[in-house]
Amino acid sequence: LLLVINHYVGCLWYLIGKSHDGSDTWVVYHNIADADWVYKYLTAFHWGVTQFAPASMHIQPQNTVERAYAIIVVVFALVGFSYVVGSITGSLTQLRSMSEDTYKQ
pLDDT tens per residue across all 105 residues of the chain: 889 999 999 999 999 999 877 678 999 899 898 899 999 999 999 999 999 887 888 899 999 999 999 999 999 989 988 888 899 999 999 888 887 777 776
Write the DSSP symbol of residue 58: S
In sequence order, the 6+-apart residues with CB closer than 8 A to the CB of 14 are 27, 40, 41, 43, 44
**Residue 63 and residue 65: Cα distance in Å, rounded?**
6
- Residue length of the chain: 105
Q: What is the pLDDT of residues 22-51, one digit of tens each?
A: 678 999 899 898 899 999 999 999 999 999
Distances, alpha carbon 15 to alpha carbons 12, 20, 54, 80, 97, in Å = 5, 9, 24, 23, 48
